[in-house]
Amino acid sequence: MLQLSDKRLGDYLEYWAEHTPDKEYIVYSDRDLRFTWKAFNERVDTMAKGLLAIGVTKGTHVGIWAQNVPDWLTFLYACAKIGAVYVTVNTNYKQNELEYLVKDSDLHTLCITDGTFDSNYVDMVYEMLPELRTCQRGHLESKRFPRMKNVIYVGQEKYRGMYNTSEILLLGDNTEDALLEEAKQKVSCHDVVNMQYTSGTTGFPKGVMLSHHNIANNGFLTGEHMKFTQDDKLCVCVPLFHCFGVVLATMNCLTHGCTEVMVERFDPLVTLASIHKERCTAVYGVPTMFIAELNHPMFDMFDLTCLRTGIMAGSLCPIDLMKQVNEKMYIQVTSVYGLTESSPGMTHTRIDDPPEVRYTTVGRDFEFTDVKVLDPETGEECPVGVQGEMCCKGYNVMKGYYNNPEATAEVIDKNGYLHSGDLGVKDENGNYHITGRIKDMIIRGGENIYPREVEEFLYNLPGVRDVQVAGVPSKKYGEEVGAFIIMHEDAKPLTTEEVRDFCRGKISRHKIPRYVFFVKEFPLTGSGKIQKFKLKEWSLRLCAEAGIEII
């Protein structure tokens, strides 16, 4: 009988450290770095005491700006044990976005790495906090960011004004255990433990406040739907700064006592090699990740028969792709639907659902979650088969947006239902079908067109690897349908007219794409989600480059 737990994140960690001390919890196969539950818990305790030593206490906001490095999770659990709030920073952020988040979140301490191939985090932090170049560690006084007190470099290098990991651990070694025990006693499972900033596709990003209770239970139920046990090994190649990584992956493993095989930055070859070497039983990814793995020239070199399940989520999951993942990677693939504000899962297909349910729906409600399809105009519940807005109420609804009660009230109604902004339909079996976003809807001359419907149709076109549909501005109709298509490398090239001919007589005339753009990639967020709003911007540029007049 499933039930919600009031355990804090640290409680789970300490339970497995005591009951399965020598079992591997975190593995980096590409560098043969391995932590048992006991060793990892000890490192977390030392890190927690180190954070206490530099002034981090209950309610303090600690940021992490890093890819899936080994100590990403160490800092998460260290913060969780002492009641600090772990603020995840998108690894793709640039200077202005970083500074906005630091200011908006009232950040006290920021943990960083060197950065990514096109962003030097150290340089960007020095630009934001020039005082670091002349101050001693722990004595930062910033004029622009007065709440910021510490920067920690996650690694061994030394930078002026910053602590590094070794120094925090050394401070922890010299801090009394009693201080940690005292801090732990003050932490409740309903305290905020994680704050994630929404992608900000409309307006400024907002800090989503999630509690231990929110994310631990969502991760636990996710694992139950896929029948996870202590024997499972999950390959985590999705970014930890996103709910997909830190909740659906990490909280699943934390609550079930299984192993996380980590990939620092998604690379299809490293992912395939890690699965093969460690005999992983599950792997997650957005569609573009699975496409990259399946199409890798060395794919056939790896034995993936160890795999049994996983999650494909984050954007439209093409039916053909899900079938390929099932057939070639041996994965009974499931789909989770939700959003950061719902911790993130609202619905999930179960591993024992029939293939047609797992391929064509996002499953049914999470336990202890009341999911409803509501009419956006009236707020009334829609009958089965009638499209409306996906909404939910339950343990998984966020505590709110940080310092933004007005925005919180816009998405959580007076009855406690979180409004997703997504359109969906509930079928007669209780499974949900996501049909698009309210704001992504294309309105062509008064006709409502839902991109997902057109996308699903265009996936049937021979040679198409991936497709996205978005509105293109039109002087005559307000918007026209634009199709952005990625072809398979060995596919016969298509023309716009061939795509349109394929549609004629099969879908309504007003849904046939007026504009067809053949592209190599889509604009993505750091977590791999496709940014539809940028496709609209691309359409204007691509039309101009091709000399196509927009009418």
Mean per-residue pLDDT, 526-532: 75
Q: Which of 61-70, 255-264, 312-321 has the lowest mean pLDDT?
A: 312-321
Q: What are the pLDDT digits (tens) for 366-423?
A: 999 999 999 988 999 999 999 999 999 999 999 999 999 999 999 999 999 999 998 9
Q: Which residues contact 112 (CB under 8 A, 6 or more apart)?
A: 65, 66, 121, 122, 125, 151, 152, 153, 154
Cα–Cα distance, 341 to 412 (Å, whole number): 10
Whether the pLDDT of residue 508 is over 90: the answer is: no
- How far is C-alpha 387 from the geometric centre of its chain's CA atoms? 26
Looking at per-residue pLDDT, the higher value among 198 and 147 belongs to: 147
* The pLDDT of residue 550: 77
Domain boundaries, the chain: 9-197, 442-546
* The pLDDT of residue 200: 44
Q: Which fold has domain 442-546?
A: GMP Synthetase; Chain A, domain 3 (3.30.300)
Backbone angles phi, psi at 233, to 5 degrees: -125, 120
Produce one character per residue of 445-455: b if its CB has 16 or more CB atoms within 10 Å, e if not. eeeebbbbebb
Average pLDDT along the chain: 94
Cα–Cα distance, 440 to 347 (Å, whole number): 21
Mean per-residue pLDDT, 469-484: 87
217 confidence band (pLDDT: 50, 70, 90): very high
* The pLDDT of residue 437: 76
* The pLDDT of residue 74: 98
Mean per-residue pLDDT, 507-511: 83
Whether the pLDDT of residue 526 is over 80: the answer is: no
Whether the pLDDT of residue 445 is over 80: the answer is: no
Is the CB of residue 536 less than 8 Å from the CB of residue 472? yes
* The pLDDT of residue 442: 86
549 confidence band (pLDDT: 50, 70, 90): confident
205 confidence band (pLDDT: 50, 70, 90): confident
Is the CB of residue 79 less than 8 Å from the CB of residue 63? no
* The pLDDT of residue 202: 44
Cα–Cα distance, 239 to 91 (Å, whole number): 9
Mean per-residue pLDDT, 223-250: 97
CATH of domain 9-197: 3.40.50.12780
Tokens of 473: 């501005």
5 confidence band (pLDDT: 50, 70, 90): very high
Looking at per-residue pLDDT, the higher value among 329 and 453 belongs to: 329
* The pLDDT of residue 66: 98
* The pLDDT of residue 160: 97
203 confidence band (pLDDT: 50, 70, 90): low
Cα–Cα distance, 548 to 544 (Å, whole number): 6
Residue 90: closest CA among 259, 246, 254, 286: 246
* The pLDDT of residue 293: 97
Is the CB of residue 53 less than 8 Å from the CB of residue 171? yes
* The pLDDT of residue 446: 67
Looking at per-residue pLDDT, the higher value among 505 and 63 belongs to: 63
Cα–Cα distance, 69 to 138 (Å, whole number): 24
92 confidence band (pLDDT: 50, 70, 90): confident
363 confidence band (pLDDT: 50, 70, 90): very high
201 confidence band (pLDDT: 50, 70, 90): very low
